[in-house]
Every structure is written in structure tokens, then in C-alpha cells.
Structure 1
Amino acid sequence: MTGAEPPLSDTETAFQDMAHAFARDVMRPVGEKLDRMTQDEILKKDSIYYTEFRPKYLALEINPVTLGELPPAELGKVLPIIMEEFGWGDGGLSVTIGACQLPPLLALMFGKQHLLQRFPVDLIGCWAITEPDHGSDSLDPSKQIFHPQGKYGRPNCVARIDGNKVILNGQKSAWVSNGPIADVCVLYSAADRGNGPDPENGVVMLVPMNAKGVSRGKFIDKLGQRPLPQGEIFFDNVELSADHIIAGPEEFQRAVYAIHCEANGQMGAIWTGSARASFEIAWKYAHERKQGGVPIYRHQSVAKSLFHMYRKVEASRALVRRVALYNMTSPMPSLQSAMATKVTATQTAFEVASDALQMLGGNGNTREYPIEKILRDARASMIEDGCNEILSIKGGYQMMDPDLL
């Protein structure tokens, strides 16, 4: 439509076509139905989440193992294309896909092949990092955002490392994506090696959700991203062998850095796709809706608004794809750049959805049009995976050169 896209390779085109067909035929219609269901209805094994969405997603065979067969430079181009198409289909379902990918992704990144075999890619995964008393704190083990007089306090979840075993106690917050349905959890926790819990040098491990002592809270009722199951996870003397550990205390800071580069980059692509969906809905509507005797596209204010929607989507996509390629091919990925993609794309998704709803007028407020759902979904995106305010502070500090101060 815009004429600003460079040609895609045959591989990129094939993945884009496959992802878009899945987003169009499965994700968008399933997401709209799930959005109107209760949490209990979604969790039933005969719900369309399990009968339509999951099997058709697994049939695509898009996961860290299969994608990992691509050269890094090619993967850096293909992955944001795939996730943008998924985001175009449904933001919440895209996040549930991303959460499923994290257990095998972390196992691959840290060379834990035995965990990849133990927890195969077709399992439902979740990522548990934030806690009831430590939301954004969990993103900041280096304490860059802490107030000078602030104290972390006792962690809500502690992994006590005792020889060749780990004992888990505590809980993770209600915002664990896929928490109510997951088979395996990527757990980020404070570590206790005998001197008390240390949130700065924690532990990352894969936890089977059927382990003795693991329980779940309710699927929380939310404004947006309602198809995405989120809820608390509780650990009561959960004892696991130490070979469940992906990254110990010495590698914990690296593991936090790594997962946020990945998660923020994927969020950038997902919500660029969501913004694109809003723009396309508004663009089409502007050609069809008549006011003042002409299609509303003829009115200057509408054309101007559509231009700014387009401008924001294109800028977001360009940043996301540039950073994805760099981070996939660089020896050290750029965390501040990944954070920039997440903040830019989520802000863009919300602004474009809001402008699109305004253009649709009263119709935009109705469930007959998908824009009101996209707006609700996009609003949540500016909080999840690190609220944009905290990411901005962290990203700013990442850019600092101490030698110049």
C-alpha cells in the first residue's frame, strides 16, 4: 500500500505469507471469540483456544528450534516479519505464542540441551519474573532505578540451592503470561546459597508445572488481551534437581539482559503489527464512510490523520527490523535498542488505535468493529514486559558512558 517496503527474499516472503494466513484465518477470529468469553470458558479443554488455536499454531512449526536452523542474519529478518503478522492478527494471542517460545529459547541460548529434550517445543510455556511486591524491580537486578533510600525488601520467591537440589518457596505475581495453563515455567528467582536470598544474583530455571508443591492462582479478568491467560504461580517447598537450572547466580545478570533483549524485541514486532491493523481498518473505513456528501477520506482532517498513522507504523517497523537484525548478528545485543523498539511500538499501537477509533466515530465504540478490542489490547502492552516508564529509565542508563561523567 505504501510503496516504502524493500523487496523480501523468497524465504522472508514464504514465512510472511504463512504467518499472515494464520493471523487472518485463525488468530483474528479466534481472538475475537475468546475476548467475549469468561476466563473459565477459555480454560475449558474444549474451548477454541485448545481445539483451534493451539493445534493450528503447532502445525506451523514456528519455534526456536526450527527457526534456529536459519543463519543469524536471515533469522534477524524473518522473526520480526513473523511476529508482526501475528500481532496484526491478535496481540494477546501473539504474547501467548511468545511465552511458549521462551523455555526452549532460554535452553538453547545457555546450551542446556538436556532441558530442551526434557521440555520439548510443543509444551505450553510461561515466564515468571515479576512478584507481588517487586514488579518493575524484577527488571532491575543492578538497582539502577532504585531510589537512594529504597530497599528491595524480602523477595516473594526464593530458590534455595542446596548441593545438587533446589527448593522453591513463594509466589510470582498475577501477570505471568500463560501461568494458568502452562506445562513448563521459565522462573527468575532470588537465590539463597546459605547466606540469605540475593535478588541481585538470582537463578533461572525451568520448572515443570506438575511438580509437587506448584499451584496456580485464578486467570485474572482484564480490560485487554483477554485471550491471554495470566495468573499467579505459587511454590510450596518445590524440590527439583539442580540440572533444572539454566543460569546460576554468576550468570543471572546476563540472563536478565538476554531475556529482555528477546522479549522487548518481540513485543516491538507484535505491536507494530497491531498498529498496522488499526491503520488498515481506518484506511478502509475512510474510503467507505460518507459524510458531507463524500467519502470521509475527502476531508482534509481525515487524510492528515491517516498520514500520521502511516508515518508512525512505518517508523516503528523500520526500528524493529533494524534492531532485530543487529541483535541477532551482533556478539553483544543492544538492550537499550530492544527497549526502544518495545516502547516505540506499544506507544504507536495505542496512539494509532485511538486515532482509528476516533475516525470510526460511534461505530468504533461498538463490538461490530474490531478497533475497540485492539485499543484495549494495545493499552495493556505499554505495561507488560516492563512498563514503558521503567524501560525508558533503564534504557537511558544503558546508554551512559561513565568515563565521560
Structure 2
Amino acid sequence: MPDASTAVLTIDLAAIAENYRILSEQVAPATCGAAVKADAYGLGAATVASVLHRAGCDHFFVATLDEALALRPIVPTAQIYVLNGLPAGAAEAVAAENLIPVLGTLEQIEDWRQHCRTARPKPAALMIDTGMSRLGLSEKDTVRLAGDPALLQGIPIVHAMSHLACSDDEANPMNIRQLTLFRALTERFPWPGGAKPTLSMAASSGCFLGTDYHFDLARPGASLYGLEPMIGRPNPMRPVVALEGKILQIRDVDLGMTVGYGATHQFKGRSRLAVIGVGYADGIFRSLGNRGAVFVAGERAPIVGRISMDLMTADIGHLSLSACRVGDPVEIIGPHQSVDDLARDAGTIGYEILTALGSRYLRRYHAAGPRA
């Protein structure tokens, strides 16, 4: 049972639904799906997927088979794509739950083809690598696959995708190189049965690169959860996450005193400290020590000293004595500081902040409205 000092993580489900609407309009007439991998970027896949499904989403992308199996009861009629591909020996389980494996190697394709031959044919997707050099069929293997129709014989290929490496930077020439290669490779295929699959390249940032990148289906993730999709542009997404810690203690400090492990911050005069009940066990990165900030009574308060497992300390010497008390909330993420702002101070990206948020928070979900 949480006590009064427990930090509170608030997740605005109405904002997620609104962000889905914004993205759907951005990519129309293409269909808008949703990436809910990594527990919907740490926000709770079961709850988030239900909200997105009510908002009209019918295409969900997860990373692993376990994520897909957990999601299936939540959205029993939706299409669920397993981005990490077909695990060895998992074809029967994937088919039984009507999941769509995103096949990224010739070996995975052969495994799925054998399953389709011995059981009822089930749909699959292809991942084509156009420059990320991560998962997916290489250009060489894609050309081989396109030139030998027997390799896909009996597999209903319903979707083919690639993934952009630099889509948050619209001026990066990598974008057009990948787009050109993806088009060239997919146009080589004599698709089984003559049925051309739907195509996709755009994740969150790709949705804002223009219609050439939208194809048939977009699969945003981070932007659904309020993160900035593009470098150097105002964020069009609604904020989703707020995080408040609680002040556990207020301490007076004086010239020469230090705070925290390693004594990395020494005071140059009298001040006051707010000791806040969150730390790196809660996803507050150690790199924020002596460089990040929180907001106390609406005023910026620099983090001083190292972040420890359960605690962080902020200098509140510039605030009046009446401005804050033990038990008061402290804004870590909120109106004054977005997830992306906090990430910049930590030397990382908003994705990592969201997915690192710990399990000790009291989670409060703000309900979404009815489906439009």
C-alpha cells in the first residue's frame, strides 16, 4: 500500500487518444497503427492498447512473442505484428493466436513456409533492411527472395516494411536513400497469388516526413506517448506523462558542506535542500546529478549531488521558507519540464526515460473519452 511519500506517475489516456487522432490525420489516407512494445513504452500496454483500440486502432506492433501473447486477449480482433520475427519452434503458437510474424531472415521464411504447408496457411509480414543493419532481410537476400517465387510459395504475405534510421532529421539524405531502395526492392516482387501486400516505413518521425513515406500503414510509438517526433520543430503531440516526487525532508546547509555520495557538490554559502523520495531505482538517471533540475512550487530547483537509489536532492535556497514543506509535491515531469527536456539534461532520449520509469510509483490513469 503506497504511503503519503510515494511518488505519483500520472498517465493521461485522453492525451494518448488525442495523439492517435492527430497522427491518423497526419498520415491519412494511410492507416495509422500503434507500437505498444516494451509495455507501451513503460506506460502499461494493456491499458494503453485498450484506449487506442477504442480510438480506432486495429494494427498493433510489439517486439516479442511474449508481448504479443499478453496483448492478444486485450485486442482479440486486432492485427498484432511481432517485430522481432519468428522465434525458433514458435510457429504453432504464433499461428494459434493469429499473430503476424515479421519475418526477417530466409530461415524464418522457410520455417513459416513449412508451417503453412503442413497446417493452414497464415499471414506473415516481411522486414526489409534498407540501411539500419539491424533486423531484416539484407538487400542481397531480398533480391534473392524476389527472384525465386518458390521461397514464398504458400505464405500469405500481407505486409512488407522497412525502418528509417534518421527520420527525426528531415534534411538527412539517409531518408531518401532508404525510401528509394525500399521502393526498388518491393517493386521487384512477383507477390504470391498476385496480391500485393500493404507497405510501411513510417514510425513516429516518419509520419512527419511527407506523404512519400506514409505508404499504406504507419506505426508510430513514441509520439503517441507525447515525445517530440522531429528535431528542431515544435512538438505537435499532447503531453501524456506527469511525474511528481514528494519532499521527505528539508535541510539547512552552510558553506563547505557537501551532499550525497562522493561529495560531488559543495555549497558556497548557506542554502536549503529538499530531499525527494525518488532515485535511480525509479528511473531517474544518475547522469542528472549536478546537471538536471526539478520544479518546486513552480520554480526551477537544480539537482545537486548524485542521484542515489531512492533519493535525490535539490537546492531550494532561493525559495521562500513558506514556498514548500515536507510532503509537498515536486515536479519532475510536467508543465515546466517535458520528458524530452529531462532526457536532454540526462544526456539521453525521451524513449529511454519513459521505458525506465520504475514500478514503485503510484500510477494514476486519467480516463480517455468515448470513441469519436
TM-score (norm 2): 0.30
Relative to its length, the structure with more strand (as a share) is 2
TM-score (norm 1): 0.28
- Could you say which structure has the larger radius of gyration? 2
Relative to its length, the structure with more helix (as a share) is 1
Bigger RCO (CA 8 Å, 6+ sep) = 2
